[in-house]
């Protein structure tokens, strides 16, 4: 081997040794599980305006139907108000996420109500959604992959790393139970009201409408308050062995 080749090989080796290793996917090690969850919940709630935008279409539908007993009119007004709120958001160049969620929800509800011709079926999609959502969240807890833990994994960039810390798994399970609770309460209250109205047992339509509004964002905020209380009890690191 010539001296030039040896020098070239030596230079190549030196370069390889001095090259920096690839950095692993950065974990949010400086944050706690509590901070991660607070940030995500804050985004999900959308503030006071998001709460109002979610409640207005349902309130308009309920009041209009109670006064006129005209199902198409009540549904049309509810959808129209949701569209107006979306247009206002677009004009202000702000996020239409929460209005879009409301519009999608009232659109599905309108399909159910118009197909059956019964106004109380407006509440049926929400009841089914909450029952299904509660069931799925409960399964994630039972299989020790609580939904809040998956959220933490998405934020830290390590989908399964959080499971190595039993404290994180326990905290995630407790927080996920607090997401299950509002769904269960809605089903327990609204399903009997819907059934009573649907099968002529009692005139419960007004109570059904009120429960949809009262158990929407207000109940979600109550669950958030419970989560914040739980989070303030301790600070659980996102990495095992820290804290």
Ordered mean pLDDT values, 10 residues apiece, the chain (243 residues) = 48 45 40 66 65 81 88 91 89 81 85 92 95 97 92 80 85 92 96 96 92 84 81 63 48
User: What pLDDT score does 12 carry?
Assistant: 45
In a domain, 57, yes or no: yes
**Residue closest to 85 by CA, chosen among 75, 73, 96, 74:** 96
User: What pLDDT score does 43 carry?
Assistant: 62
Q: Is the dihedral of CA 231, 227, 171, 42 positive or negative?
A: negative
Domain range for 118 is 32-231
Residues 6+ apart with CB under 8 A from 120: 113, 194, 197, 198, 204, 205, 208
Reported residue count of the chain is 243
SS3 170: helix
User: What pLDDT score does 221 carry?
Assistant: 77
Residues 6+ apart with CB under 8 A from 38: 228, 231
Using CA atoms, how far residue 191 sits from 58, 129, 173, 178, in Å, is 17, 12, 27, 20
How many beta carbons lie within 10 A of that of residue 33, not counting itself? 28
In a domain, 47, yes or no: yes
User: What pLDDT score does 160 carry?
Assistant: 84
User: What pLDDT score does 42 carry?
Assistant: 63
SS3 166: helix
User: What pLDDT score does 25 carry?
Assistant: 40
Inter-residue contact 187 to 134 (CB < 8 Å)? yes
- Model pTM score: 0.76
Partners of residue 237 on adjacent β-strands: 32
In a domain, 23, yes or no: no
**Torsion over CA of 115, 121, 125 and 126, rounded to 10 degrees?**
160
The residue to which tokens 């049309």 are assigned: 76
Reading the block at residue 25, the tokens are: 């996917």
In a domain, 128, yes or no: yes
Using CA atoms, how far residue 237 sits from 69, 73, 150, in Å, is 55, 53, 15
User: What pLDDT score does 156 carry?
Assistant: 74
In a domain, 119, yes or no: yes
* Number of domains forming the structure of the chain: 1
Helix (H) or strand (E) holding 77: helix 71-91
In a domain, 216, yes or no: yes
For every residue of 178-236, DSSP letters joined together read HHHHHHHHHHHHHHHHHHHHHTTSS--HHHHHHHHHHTSHHHHHHHHHHHHHHHTT---
User: What pLDDT score does 7 carry?
Assistant: 45
In a domain, 159, yes or no: yes
User: What pLDDT score does 41 carry?
Assistant: 64
User: What pLDDT score does 195 carry?
Assistant: 97
In a domain, 190, yes or no: yes
């Amino acid at each position: 081997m010539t001296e030039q080749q040896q020098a070239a090989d030596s230079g190549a080796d030196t370069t390889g040794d001095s090259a920096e290793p690839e950095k692993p996917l950065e974990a949010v090690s400086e944050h706690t599980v509590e901070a991660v969850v607070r940030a995500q919940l804050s985004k999900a709630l959308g503030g006071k305006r998001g709460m109002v935008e979610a409640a207005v279409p349902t309130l308009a539908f309920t009041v209009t139907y109670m006064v006129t007993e005209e199902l198409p009119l009540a549904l049309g007004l509810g959808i129209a108000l949701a569209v107006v709120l979306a247009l206002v958001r677009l004009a202000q160049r702000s996020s239409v996420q929460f209005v879009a969620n409301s519009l999608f929800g009232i659109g599905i509800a309108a399909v159910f109500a118009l197909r059956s011709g019964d106004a109380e079926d407006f509440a049926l999609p929400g009841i089914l959604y909450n029952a299904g959502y509660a069931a799925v969240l409960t399964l994630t807890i039972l299989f020790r992959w609580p939904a809040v833990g998956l959220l933490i994994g998405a934020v830290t960039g390590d989908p399964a790393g959080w499971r190595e810390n039993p404290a994180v798994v326990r905290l995630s399970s407790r927080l996920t139970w607090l997401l299950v609770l509002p769904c269960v309460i809605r089903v327990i209250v609204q399903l009997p009201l819907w059934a009573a109205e649907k099968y002529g047992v009692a005139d419960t339509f007004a109570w059904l409408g009120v429960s949809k509004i009262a158990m929407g964002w207000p109940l979600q905020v109550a669950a958030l308050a419970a989560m914040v209380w739980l989070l303030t009890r301790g600070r659980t690191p996102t990495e095992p062995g820290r804290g």
